[in-house]
Amino acid sequence: MSAMARKLLCADAEQQVALTSRGLDPTLLEAPWLTVCSRARAAREAIAASPAMEEAIVLSSEEVEGINLAAALKVDAPACRVYLAACEETGSVRSRLAAAHLDGVLSLDEVVRRLSAEAVPDTVVIAADGASGRGREEERAGGFLLTVVSGSGGAGKSTVAAMLAHGAARRGLRCALVDADLQFGDLGEIGAADAHVSLDALAEDSALLPEVSAGEVALIEAPGRPELAEVLAESLDRAVQEALGRFDFVVVDTGGSWNEQQVRLLERSAAVVFLIDQRASSVRACRRALDLCLRCGVATSSFVLVLNRCGRHAPFTSIDVSSALQGAPVIELADGGREVEELLGAASAPALFASGNDLCASVDRLLGELLPRGTALCQGVAQEGVIARWGLKGARAREKKHMRRASRRRSRAQCDEIRVPLGEGR
């Protein structure tokens, strides 16, 4: 919970989706003035830990009825305004509201208006500070952090991360590439950067962080010994922070396992590229990882779901995977073929990007969508999540009809096996 939080929203994943569908900007759910909880215990702990909490809005929780949670919050913090939302105001409800000393009932639309209005003062402060060239603009100064993750190994994270970094460098940005797979990271082996330093060396002397010019990429390599991974976990956080202060664009390539370090990266990232490959197990792993994010309270509005290695003969298309993920928009990256492995095996990542390979071209288009959003976020402008800009209708229009039909026939059985609700199994 942010120390600045002054409002509490209690809502499960379904109700959060309902709010965004009624016009709430998804980025507001990550605002520093708002704490969002899906579980009753977390909500009570949050309000107890923040005496400055001004208002709590209860839509639902995963364990108890909303009105019971609202009553408990009012007991925990009598000075805080507590509202019950998304509830029909019957005579019984009114009597229970009075007995619990709650402050009223709100509709979903009223919740959206209240939260949206709360963001206006922050925008005014940013504008006022900008007049003197200091304040909020200075606080937000720094690079754009993009993290590349997947639910399982082998999805192509290292390749995509390297191509994203080189694509940003081609746009004239000073770029840093961070290998966060501290045990088996191999970005240093594929020639991914113009200058590099290992994380263990950087942990001993931060002055070793390479200086690069615009259009170049610096690499923070994983340590050479896997046994150092646990020891260097905290050093990774510091290295990322240092890189954000020195570079325009920072790409973090993560490992296959999910841990506290990875969650911290997701929380601070301006955008997250979630890679899925052409295996049904990769789609299932994606579902489990997204479910984990919901349970941990990690906002997914910055996530971009990306299906890798797409082509005419690939088992899945973005439509297939989107269907398995309850209609979530999915972007396709083209299969780069043998050229990708050949050039990376020869430690020629820059040559691969310069080749105009199908994979690199599709990564460059993805980057074109991500960078404008990063600019807006750094300026403090509330903006629609990247993931929301990729509708299924547009994806269908880009898909060739014969590819869709062939893919559906091949993969319908596999997708049926993994089409289960996100919340199932909690």
Average pLDDT, the chain: 80
Confidence of residue 425 (pLDDT cuts 50, 70, 90): very low
Residue 336: what pLDDT?
95
Ranges in the chain annotated CATH 3.40.50.300? 140-418
Better-scored residue on pLDDT, 300 or 335: 335
What average pLDDT does range 163-183 have in this prediction? 94
For 2, 57, 83, 411, the CA distances from 71, given in Å and listed in that order, are 24, 11, 10, 49
7-136 maps to which CATH number?
Answer: 3.40.50.2300
Note the pLDDT tens digit of each residue in 39-60: 999 999 999 888 878 899 999 8
What average pLDDT does range 76-96 have in this prediction? 79
Ranges in the chain annotated CATH 3.40.50.2300? 7-136
Confidence of residue 390 (pLDDT cuts 50, 70, 90): very low
Residue 87: what pLDDT?
64
H/E run at residue 212: none
Confidence of residue 128 (pLDDT cuts 50, 70, 90): very low
Note the pLDDT tens digit of each residue in 93-111: 777 778 888 888 888 888 8
pTM of the full structure: 0.59
Residue 371 to residue 74: CA distance in whole angstroms? 43
What average pLDDT does range 254-278 have in this prediction? 92
Better-scored residue on pLDDT, 116 or 324: 324
Query: Which residue has 């910055």 as its token pair?
Result: 302
Q: Which of 39-53, 76-90, 263-277, 279-293 has the lowest mean pLDDT?
A: 76-90
Residue 148 to residue 403: CA distance in whole angstroms? 27
Neighbouring residues of 398: CB distance < 8 A, sequence distance ≥ 6: none
Better-scored residue on pLDDT, 405 or 222: 222
Q: Which CATH class is domain 140-418?
A: alpha beta
Angle at CA 263, nearest 5°, toward 135 and 146?
60
